[in-house]
Amino acid sequence: MGRATLCDNRAVALYERLEKDLVDARMRRDQVALDTLGLFKSEVVLASKEPGAGGRIDDALVLRVARREVKRRDEAAEAFRSGGRGPQAEKEEREAEVLRGFLPAALSQAELEAEVRAVIEEVKPSGPGAFGQVMKAASARLGGRAEGGEIAAVAKRLLA
C-alpha cells in the first residue's frame, strides 16, 4: 500500500535508502538505529499526506523531515544536558547522528561565502528587492547544504 504513493521511482532514492537502512539495522540488531529509522519513516509518510505534498515521497520531502527530526533531537539533547540527564542526552545525540546520514554535507563558511558571491555575480541584484533576489537564487542553488539564516547573514554582509 505504501508504494502506491510513490509516483516517480527515480525520485525516491532517499526513501529507498531509508527502507534499506531500516532492514540493515534490524539485521544488525541496532536498536537505536532501528527505533530512529522506524520513527523517521513514519514521519516521512505522515509528511507525504500533509496538504500540498500530494501523497508523494521524494528526496526533498525526506530531506525536509530529516532536518526537522535532527533539529528536534539536538534541542532535546540540549534540554536533557541542561537538566542533568546525560544518558537521555546521549541517546538523543546518537539518534541525531543516525538521521544526519540522510542530510547532504554542510558547507564551510568559506564555501558558503563563495557560493553566495557567485549568486550575486549571476543575479546582479539591484533596487530595494536585491536581498530577496539573492536569497531566492541562493536558497535554490544551495538546496539544503546551508541553513536559511546562514545564507541570509552572508548575503546581507556581501550586499552591504
69 and 7 in a common domain:
yes
113 and 48 in a common domain:
no
Q: Is 3 left (phi over 0), alpha (psi -120 to 50) or beta?
A: alpha
CATH number for the domain that contains residue 92: 1.10.1510
85 and 113 in a common domain:
no
Name the domain count of the chain.
2
Q: Which amino acid is at 81?
A: R
94 and 115 in a common domain:
no
Q: Which of residues 58, 83, 100 is at a domain's end?
A: 100
26 and 91 in a common domain:
yes
17 and 79 in a common domain:
yes
Q: What is the pLDDT of residues 44-96, one digit of tens each?
A: 999 999 888 788 888 888 888 998 999 999 999 999 999 999 999 999 999 99
* CA nearest neighbour of 97 among 151, 160, 40: 40
Q: Which of residues 78, 100, 122 is at a domain's end?
A: 100
> What range does the domain containing 117 cover?
109-159
Buried b (16+ CB within 10 A) or exposed e, 18-45: beebbeebeeeebeebbebbeebbebbb
83 and 59 in a common domain:
yes
6 and 83 in a common domain:
yes
Q: Give the per-residue pLDDT at 19.
A: 93
119 and 90 in a common domain:
no
Is the confidence at residue 8, as pLDDT, over 70? no
Is the confidence at residue 139, as pLDDT, over 90? no
Contact 151, 142 (CB under 8 A): yes
Is the confidence at residue 4, as pLDDT, over 50? no
Contact 65, 47 (CB under 8 A): yes
Q: Which of residues 59, 81, 100 is at a domain's end?
A: 100
Q: Give the per-residue pLDDT at 146.
A: 78
pTM over 0.85: no
CATH number for the domain that contains residue 117: 1.10.10
Q: How many CA atoms lie within 13 A of 99 on its CB side?
A: 28
Question: Would you call 143 exposed, middle or buried from its count of C-beta atoms within 10 A (0-12, 13-18, 19+)?
Answer: exposed
Radius of gyration, CA atoms only, the chain: 19
Q: Give the per-residue pLDDT at 131.
A: 85
> Alpha-carbon distance 133 to 107, whole Å?
21
More confident residue, 16 or 145: 16
Q: Give the per-residue pLDDT at 12.
A: 52
Residue range 10-37: mean pLDDT, rounded = 88
Contact 44, 35 (CB under 8 A): no
57 and 28 in a common domain:
yes
14 and 84 in a common domain:
yes
